[in-house]
Amino acid sequence: MRCLAPHPAGSYLSEPQGSSQCATMELGPLEGSYLELLNSDADPLCLYHIYDQMDLAGEEEIELYSEPDTDTINCDQFSRLLCDMEGDEETREAYANIAFPEELPADLKHWKPVPSSSSSLSCLNLPEGPIQFVPTVSTVPQGLWQISGTGTGVSSIFIYHGEVPQASQVPPPSGLTVHGLPTSPDRPGSTSPFAPSATDLPSMPEPALISRANVTEHKTSPTQRQAAGEVSNKLPKWPESVEQFYRSLQDTYRAEPTGPDGILMEVDLVQARLERSSSKSLERELATPDWAERQLAQGGLAEGLLAAKEHRRPRETQVIAMLGKAGQGKSYWAGAVSRAWACGRLPQYDFVFSVPCHCLNRPGDVYRLQDLLFSLGPRPLVAADEVFSHIVKRPDRILLILDAFEELEAQDGFLHSTCGPALAEPCSLRGLLAGLFQKKLLRGCTLLLTARPRGRLVQSLSKADALFELSGFSMEQAQAYVMRYFECSGMTEHQDRALALLRDRPFLLSHSHSPTLCQAVCQLSEALLELGEDAELPSTLTGLYVGLLGRAALNGPPGALAELAKLAWELGRRHQSTLQENQFPSADVRTWAMAKGLVQHPPGATESELAFPSFLLQCFLGALWLALSGEIKDKELPQYLALTPRKKRPYDNWLEGVPRFLTGLIFQPRARCLGALVGPSATAFADRKQKVLARYLKRLQPGTLRARQLLELLHCAHEAEEAGIWQHVVQELPARLSFLGTRLTPPDAHVLGKALEAAGQDFALDLRSTGIDPSGLGSLVGLSCVTHFRAALSDTVALWESLRQHGETELLQAAEEKFTIEPFKAKSLKDVEDLGKLVQTQRTRSSSEDTAGELPAVRDLKKLEFALGPISGPQAFPKLVRILTAFSSLQHLDLDALSENKIGDEGVSQLSATFPQLKSLETLNLSQNSITDLGAYKLAEGLPSLAASLLRLSLYNNCICDMGAESLARVLPDMVSLRVMDVQYNKFTAAGAQQLAASLRKCPHVETLAMWTPTIPFSVQEHLQQQDSRISLR
């Protein structure tokens, strides 16, 4: 029996189960009658919590029942509630309709509370007979109605209609124990009868039990309950069918992958965001933070999911996206999440369902929610209707994983569909996904998506609740993976030799940051080491895959590899990676491809469905088809390099690895490349295509390409291994190379460094916002041909510190001498802090005995812009002022921003104190900074220190009145070097203007005084301009 009762006090509400913290909700006084509160929008959970605190106001002690597994019912609270409601018949009727189930006799709805004098039993006397609360009942006597809760620890209540049996008449225990009502969420030991079960509040965690501080929250998952020691005669938390399904689901996901696929390497999980690729483009791509600015998800996947869950709004579906390039291990990571849940490391979820999206990309099929949860995962699950009903009642305890989300591009309309389906209605996949993503179906669940950061669907993920990026292997992790691979393969004697082979090929070592490519390198190394000690890895990606497929191609049916390559290309044009068995030209080709591991049954697929084991393999096969096919016209071939996109019908380059593989297959020697795969007779079209691509590549001007296309051109030239193409590309590189905002991966840094060395000229590099890792930054900076470079301040200072710790004095000196920050624009508080760290590094360096002099980056800075806006500007400006004097060559200080920095009079006063040290300052822009007369007065006091250097002074759009104008007019004749002064859009009147004009007559060196302002009559301005033409009114 449950009632909801108000009380004007705060309440402690439980967080979703699985969280170790409870949030505190402070409620204001609730006023009005019980019926008004009943009909209000007040949360019922708050109401029963509030009423339960009535005992706290009276500071009464609650006595707990002596038996450990039961609690007595606090009938005093219940009686007091009934007494409060007794005077209002309408309220009493409303509460009776809620508190009592419909199947109870109608006469039980008319009652009058009478305090019970019995000490052994809790009793309420009603007009038609008493209601007695019995803490423990072993059997159900005749005449008792049982009302049972469904949550963990929720009691059964027996209501007896008729004469109340005495305590001595209660039958002795005989096996069935009915436990007391649950403890109140407000404090330990509370025995309030008003705590609802999860069935009453289906969207709340089950059960809604949480104690005050220093009291452990109740656990609900079966694994945790068993670990705590479950009493054998205790009522189960879930129905038996749900328990069985839970255990079978755990068994499904608990299985660890075997062999090399089971090698686990912990990689960083980085918080990510999407941003527009350019100001003119609506397409979004992954933002590229600097290496030191990366925000790692502390605690790995479990803590990341838990933290994201705690920050979501209650009863709202949460969308979490895991992004990463092909081959970064996203699918493996999704499997690791499922295994973590099965092993009890994600207690915030009762059920986890993992669905590969290629299983959903079946146009025309009709689905129900049950199909998505039970039939499309790695293994079909058998679940009764009772299981499904239990799951949908608790959506906030569900984690649904959609792996390889980009596979659903054919279904992208669901993101903008107007409505979602009803729960039980069969519908198309588009309708089902619309219901999930628009938070109308299974509302409150957690959706975890894995996807590549490209394509139409990914553009909508910018509104996801949390975005993460899966980073690849570090150099150390790649080498550790090689060791683990040969250990798992039982070839420990080849570990050192395999590692030496990889280190001899720096290009492949840089590509080993991709787990898929690292595994491919290990597979080829294993095959080569079995042949003999003279093994050697190829130096290109094309050679790597030729080595992996060479044996399989020669042992297959005639033309089998070419047919498979055609399938790969056609699927890629449709943005697909799965195919049906009947798509193969013959059963022999299908059998051969499956036997050689070139295609395989993906998890969760039907028996007739196959897929390529990796996206890069599909790219290689697609490039092979372009190299062999006579169906591709010669004039169309260059578009597939995706270097100069066409305006009409552009190639979308979904198979993004095709350009590099295509140039490698076309240009590398036939005997060890294309001929080794398909034989000399099948390469008839290759010679003609080589001439077409060579002519196209040699006509390209690398200096006109964007940074991303330039890097792709360098990769293509490297894969071609053709001296003429390589020399043309590197010799046409411009002397100033900017990669600002373009991500530089380890392979990019390697091939760029190789090209710079071969060019034979000096370069200046801009490496800001590239995300380049410390190893790549150090390798580029250390090149003798790189004379200047710009990079993130935090990354550069970290590089210097690393070089200093490792004793690399020469490289450290070169890195310090080459680094420049000219010009520098501070757009965030972090920029100012990083600039301060740079100055501190110089001061530390100057005080050291083994080094002397200023850092060139600090010494040579001539232009500094400060644009933080009205919020961060006033906070960060004092930090900037403290380091300004370190920039001895500063000529241009721009404190103007479109959103206004608002440094105010205080900022001007602080700045003026630094003028004696800024001997080289020529331009001072103080526009739009909320400067008043006081600021103008402080500025005028400090300006004489700049009399010999200052050429331009701007006070545009401030709040300077006549007194401020007078201060400026008084100092103007002393500024012998000043040429231009701008005081437009201020608030001085004709009096202030006349003072400035009079002072101007004493300054023949001033060329322009711009002082138009709306507070001066236009006739006065015209008159002043007629007297002195140097006064500008524009």
Lowest average pLDDT, out of 169-173, 477-481, 553-557, goes to: 169-173
Q: Write down the residue that tokens 């509160």 correspond to.
A: 37
pLDDT of residue 761 exceeding 70, the answer is yes
Mean pLDDT computed over every residue of the chain: 77
What pLDDT band is residue 385 in, cutting at 50, 70 and 90? confident
pLDDT band per the 50, 70, 90 thresholds, residue 57: very low
Strand partners, 790: 766
pLDDT of residue 416: 54
Cβ burial, residue 807 (10 Å; 0-12/13-18/19+): exposed
CA atoms of 979 and 1008, how far apart (whole Å): 7
DSSP 296: B
Q: Could you give the angle at the alpha carbon of 35 between the alpha carbons of 31 and 38, nearest 5°?
A: 85
Helix (H, G, I), strand (E, B) or coil at 600: strand
Q: Which residue has the higher pLDDT, 749 or 1?
A: 749
Q: Cα-flanking dihedrals φ and ψ of residue 261, to 5°?
A: -70, -15
Who wins on pLDDT, 195 or 805? 805
DSSP string, 93-113: HHHHHHHS-TTS-GGGGS---
Residue 828 to residues 736, 806, 870, 873, 886: CA-CA distances in angstroms? 26, 32, 12, 9, 20
Degrees (nearest 5) of the Cα angle 76, 79, 82? 155
What are the backbone dihedrals phi and psi of residue 59, each rounded to the nearest 5 degrees, phi first? 55, 45
Q: What are phi and psi of 266, to 5 degrees?
A: -75, 120
Written as six digits, the tokens of 124 are: 């309420």
Helix (H, G, I), strand (E, B) or coil at 552: helix
Angle at 674 between CA 670 and CA 675, to 5 degrees: 65
Q: What is the pLDDT of residue 60?
A: 37
H/E element, 402: strand 398-403
Rounded CA-CA distance 387/378 in Å is 19
**pLDDT(692) > 70:** yes
Structure tokens at 841: 């590094």
- The pTM (predicted TM-score) of the whole model is 0.75
Q: Any idea of the CA torsion for 82, 83, 86, 88, to the nearest 10 degrees? A: -100
Report the amino acid identity of residue 4: L
The pLDDT assigned to 649 comes to 63
Residue 1022: is its pLDDT beyond 60? yes
> Quick check: helix, strand or coil at residue 157?
strand
Report which of residues 492 and 542 the model is more confident about: 542
Predicted pLDDT at 767: 95
Instruction: At 885, list the tokens.
Output: 């004097």
Is 2 a residue whose pLDDT tops 90?
Answer: no
If you average pLDDT over residues 981-988, what whole number do you get? 95
End-to-end CA distance of the chain: 81
Q: What Rg value do the Cα atoms of the chain yield, rounded?
A: 38
> Two tokens at 73?
């019912």
Using pLDDT thresholds of 50, 70 and 90, give the confidence band for residue 237.
confident
Two tokens at 880? Answer: 């900037």
What gap in Å lies between CA 894 and CA 898, rounded to an integer? 12
% of the chain with per-residue pLDDT over 90 = 43
- In whole angstroms, give the CA distance from residue 937 to residue 915: 15
Residue 632 banded pLDDT, cuts 50, 70, 90: confident
Amino acid at 837: K
Strand partners, 122: 133
Tokens standing for 296?
């790692």
Q: What is the DSSP letter of 611?
A: E
Which phi-psi region, left, alpha or beta, contains residue 404 (left: φ > 0; alpha: ψ -120 to 50)? left
* Both tokens assigned to 115: 């305090």
| Measured distance CA(959)–CA(940) in Å, rounded | 15
Pairing of strands 980-982, 952-954: parallel
d(CA 831, CA 865): 11
Q: What percent of the chain has pLDDT over 70?
A: 71
Cβ 71 vs Cβ 199: under 8 Å: no
**pLDDT above 70 (res 1033):** yes
Q: Is the peptide bond before 823 cis (omega within 30 degrees of 0)?
A: yes
Specify the residue for token string 């081959």: 327
